[in-house]
Amino acid sequence: MEGANYEEATMKSVLTIIAAAAIAFVVSGCAKQAPASKPALKLMNAKELAKEFKKGSKVCSWKAGKKGKDRGTDYYYKDISAMSGNADRVMGKATLQGKWGISGDTLSLNFGIGKPQMYKLQKVKKKTYTAYLNGKKKKMTFKCK
């Protein structure tokens, strides 16, 4: 009888292992996979940014806000230095006057409202950029001539 009990115990152990493996397999298939992390932004470095702004004054059409509903055109004049100057922002019939500048890898814009806004740029395609406020939050997209 001892042999029968041994075989019965062995069979129960094998069945328990098979059941546990089957449950683990089913649960792992049902488990939600973690979402893939977003690829890191490829922001322009100081050299790339300076190269984009080195030729003459810039005229850039921009879109911001929900679904790009806020629109306008910025005129960046190089009347202070090669990488800074006065600026005009035209939004419909209104024009705001301000200043712009590049320091390292950051574009600074100030149209008379509080502190300058600091942007890091991502080049989307030739003369088209996405601007990230403080290098983090997407703020606007613009295309320059």
All structural domains of the chain with their residue ranges: 46-144
pLDDT over threshold 50, residue 14:
no
Q: Which residues pair with 74 in a beta bridge?
A: 60, 89
Q: Which two tokens stand for residue 104?
A: 């390292």
pTM for this prediction: 0.69
Across residues 6-10, what is the average pLDDT? 60
By percentage, how much of the chain surpasses pLDDT 90? Answer: 54
The span from the CA of 44 to the CA of 105, in Å, is 7
- Residue 125's alpha-carbon distances to 38, 65, 128, in angstroms, are 20, 21, 5
Q: Residue 53: its pLDDT value, please?
A: 86
Query: For residue range 74-116, what is the model confidence (pLDDT) as tens digits?
Result: 999 999 998 999 999 999 999 999 999 999 999 999 998 789 9
pLDDT in tens, 44-77: 999 999 998 887 789 999 999 877 789 999 999 9
Burial class (CB in 10 A: 0-12, 13-18, 19+), 130: middle
**Half-sphere exposure of 37 toward its Cβ, with a 13 Å CA cutoff?**
3
